[in-house]
Structure 1
């Protein structure tokens, strides 16, 4: 019989789900508005916004100090991301849909950048938000499956949470009915300029449009790399 206890459990689960959904919307919207992190730097945009199709620029914001661990065991720090435009994507290797689809789309863009000089070639950084299951090595192997030049890293808590918060992104561990867990995370991609500052976002489109447009991403980052290296 569906008693009051069962009803309470359903209501709690529903509220938790709605809270997580609302949280993702809030943090993704915050990322788009660049309303988090250190104060923005007042300067002329790298490229006029009307020339870009996918990237939404905002005033550059320096990232807080961070240390992630790359797939080869070496540390990844802010200085390592300077010199080239970078797209940062949070995900995890057990992700059933969003992560592989996003990395596949980004790989299409990466292949179009191969003709650019290495010194200014845009790069992709995949950061696993599931360090419990994703070792740095496993994270690197997963990212390299889509494109060999993709940077990959992760970090233990609380360093990982602090890194994500500095980007204006969110993730959360969610229990499944099978007794396992999954990771819910922002789908927004963050764009860093060659100074390693958070300077733009790429937000997935709503259905029925494909979530990402690899052609537009490739064109936007190539434009930024060549005109604002």
Structure 2
């Protein structure tokens, strides 16, 4: 059975046209079908409400602008967000760090790599002064020749999971657990920290207001899509929620 939205068949050609836009998705075909169905629901609603537009994209934009209303973020909301996320508005923060990388490869079982890494981590907890020696012996990173040194790093310079650990550790602190990234398993130590400067609230207030207003609008659109999908007669597919790149 084909896919229909309120009795209207979804043309396979529309899905084929949409497919190239979702090649990075886990399931490009599924995401494309999902997107086409949502667009159809929105365009049918625009037709029902006689919302004008030069093309389909313009009609959808006009529909959302008309039907989804969110308040602008006020001073109190911005100040609360600023107080809860100081790191986001801190500039000049640096850490001097070192690591030992245990690279995961198809030829070596992950559990064997993990076992070795855990043993080295245990040895460092017992004798922290051996970091350089063990980095030179075990690290699969070129930094091993430098005792594992990565030099000074700014926030955001590394992959997120590594970055998060780096800027959580204090000076001279060794991460108590292995850090897993797409590169493998890491033993991480922060040698020194250079604290950054928190930007004043007035300098970032407009940025925070834009972020909070945009986030509220996206939540509003998501809720609106849920309402439209909930009352539409959709056959041939079950939509898992109504989140869509249309509204991001």
Calculate the TM-score normalised by the size of structure 1. 0.21
Which one has the largest radius of gyration? 2
Q: Which is richer in helix?
A: 2
Calculate the TM-score normalised by the size of structure 2. 0.19
